[in-house]
Amino acid sequence: MANLYCSKGHQNPSGSKFCLQCGEKILEKPVSSGIQPGLTLGDRYVIVRQLGQGGFGRTYLAEDSNRFREACVLKEFSPQVQTPYVVQKAEELFQREASVLYKLQHPQIPRFRELLRINLEGKECLFLVQDYIEGQTYNSLLNSRKQQGLRFTEIEIRQLLQQLLPVLEYIHSVGVIHRDISPDNLMLRAVDQLPVLIDFGGVKQVAATVASQYYQTGMNSSPSNGTLLGKVGFAPPEQMQTGAVFPHSDLYALAVTVLVLLTGKQPQELIDTHNLNWQWRREVNVSPELGQILDKMLSARASDRYQTPRQVLEALNPQIANHPLTQPPGNYPPSPTPTPRPVPTSETVAVSPPKNPAPQPVITPTPQTASIWTGTNVFIVTLALFASAGLLWWGFNNQKRGIGESNSLVTSSPTPSVSKSPENLDNYSPEERERKQKLSDRRQQLDIDFNYYVSLVNQIFWEKNPSLKGRTLSNGADDESLRKEWDQTASQVLEKLSALSSNSRRLLGTYTSAERDRWKVEVNKINVGSRSLYDLGDAAFLKEFPEYKGKDFLTQPIGQVWHGFVSDKLNAILSNSAFEKIVFPEGEIGKTVSGTLPPGGGKVFIAGLAKDQNLEVKIDASSQILLSIYSPSGKVTLLEDSQQRTVSKTLPEKGFYEFVVVSTASKPVDYQLTVTAENPPEPEPTETPTETPTEEPTPTETPIQ
């Protein structure tokens, strides 16, 4: 029999009277029919089921038939109050959420896909399409715990704050305020146990807010004070009164969310509504440090609060005060927890290790919390583990590095000389100690694996000094100049690695051929070949490491850096920032696209063309823009990394042709690409011969599909 679902989308077995996850009563028949499962919208999105319904409209789980039936969410714009002002205002807010989501690229924010307009049964409908997050809201998690007499623990709350504050730091850095943080708008993602921030712009409240304004004003014009968004009790007073929002507004709402998770009480039960003082301490006991942090986040006066997420993080972890937060990736769709790093079996070290900071305490999560080994929190934990990594340095100092997986990072070097003991660090001058400490801080900030970092710098250092390959530099004065050169090399390498996304940096040392196979599958889904992907990765990699052009380096430590750049370009293609489909306007035989490529940048265009069409391609750009053209099967290369500005070809195949432009310039460069495809002319009619025609020969060549 069919499964039953509550209004929040939780699945329950047939015959259930109440939701097994949140306790909500399950109705035998849905309140409203909505769009029926199985219907395809926009020739692409197949409706699976309705996830929920509110004043704004319905939310549906769908499958994207253009991406191998990948799950996604469709949010329908259908406000309950259908007046001209309400419709106009709600659509304005809906468009705003779409524009906000479009520019946000973070692994803990659902990726925006498109704004879909369709005609459904004679009615114009608007849908926001974004990634589907498999998991539960924190409100649902709290309700499940309350049924067992449980609440969230302080350790879990600290973990949540450490994982979510960097997300707020990111959105605030790009000028976005969430404005509606609450347990309903936080989800615990099942695949990696990370909190995910959803519903930017207050989607669930739009229609109710607009309708309220409409009835208060009694007219079809917008109120002078603008649109007020935010949940009562969660949003700070000034936000609800004036609509004004700042970074500290989100911090206030986050603190209220924390109190709700800790106490199981709603905000109205925890605040004195007369003087707006929070009375939460009678409900739960927490450490004095966390209590003071929450009180400051909840200050009635905005000026008394923490002003940035960074300040809250520093209060939670004073040891990170001198370390800037790692920036999130520019284009990074949600993904499972990364594969653990292989344990090195050997290590060749070219220099003595930097002086290590004192060990810091590590917070151990409870089973319900997310793992501390996550993208947003790994930097904090790395501070604590760096001392241990430094001690491991000495254990590996006499060995050679090797990772026991085929086609992964492989290094080979002679056995080094006798290892050195940690106390020899005292031989370093104050200047050298300071230099090594800065390198240590920078590596941790970039979240790069310690052992991989040493292998990479060793490789580059030895390539500059081949006579020293395999030699371990001593702590004495004789090798002081060489140690300085190694440190300078390390500094340069770290700055070049900063061009990678944080996720790619974190995975350096773990990429394998299996990862490349996965990337091929991903781009093939959108009719892009791996060669186009690699062209983009090559351009970005060679911008930072031009000395490796034409060399075979995939199995060397530097090969991992190439993998990191390719991984970032994959995400850029999948998010459409480095990918575009060329569609000729109706009745026309060509189209021109243009743009600006940053240094090392690139973009892939595809166009569906027919066999035997006459293709003409023209690119207006400097010779530093290279052009490649690949056939649908990949068997024919029309152009590759070429400075040729025009090309004319008769197409050998039917399908999607790929046009790749990459920049080798040191500054941004404009380009204009024109693609024209004409059908071959019809053969002119000939007179019928008077003699009896002979039988036509059977063609022997099989056409390419």
Which residues are annotated as catalytic? 180
Using DSSP's 3-state secondary structure scheme, residue 700 falls into coil
**Are the C-beta atoms of residues 30 and 46 closer than 8 Å to each other?**
no
Three-class DSSP labels, 567-618: HHHHHHHHCCCCEEECCCCCCCCEEEEEEEECCCCEEEEEEEECCCCEEEEE
Contacts of 505 (CB under 8 A, 6+ apart): 446, 447, 448, 497, 564
DSSP letter (8 states) at residue 681: P
* Distance from the Cα of residue 580 to its chain's centroid: 19
**The two structure tokens encoding residue 76:** 């329908």
Q: Classify burial at 422, counting beta carbons within 10 Å of its beta carbon; exposed 0-12, middle 13-18, buried 19 or more.
A: middle
Residue 648: other Cβ atoms inside 10 A: 11
Query: In the structure, how many helices (H) and strands (E) does the chain have?
Result: 16, 22
Q: Token match 């850029």: residue?
A: 572
Q: Classify burial at 48, counting beta carbons within 10 Å of its beta carbon; exposed 0-12, middle 13-18, buried 19 or more.
A: middle
Q: Classify burial at 214, counting beta carbons within 10 Å of its beta carbon; exposed 0-12, middle 13-18, buried 19 or more.
A: buried
Distance from C-alpha of 496 to C-alpha of 543, rounded to nearest angstrom = 9
Distance from C-alpha of 142 to C-alpha of 21, rounded to nearest angstrom = 10
**Are the C-beta atoms of residues 648 and 616 closer than 8 Å to each other?**
yes
Name the residue among 585, 577, 578, 579 with its Cα closest to residue 676: 585
**Are the C-beta atoms of residues 170 and 178 closer than 8 Å to each other?**
no
Distance from C-alpha of 204 to C-alpha of 398, rounded to nearest angstrom = 60
Backbone φ, ψ for residue 35 (5° rounding): -85, 130
Report strand pairing: 579-581 vs 602-609.
parallel
Residue 687: other Cβ atoms inside 10 A: 5
Name the residue among 250, 258, 252, 257 with its Cα closest to residue 297: 252
Distance from C-alpha of 178 to C-alpha of 148, rounded to nearest angstrom = 32
HSE at residue 116, side-chain half, CA atoms within 13 A, is 21
Q: What residue type is assigned to position 142 of the chain?
A: L
Rg (CA), the chain: 30
Distance from C-alpha of 503 to C-alpha of 521, rounded to nearest angstrom = 20
Inter-CA distances, 181 with 21, 128, 258, 275, Å: 22, 20, 11, 23
Q: Length of the chain, please? A: 705
Inter-CA distances, 555 with 81, 409, 501, 552, Å: 62, 5, 21, 8
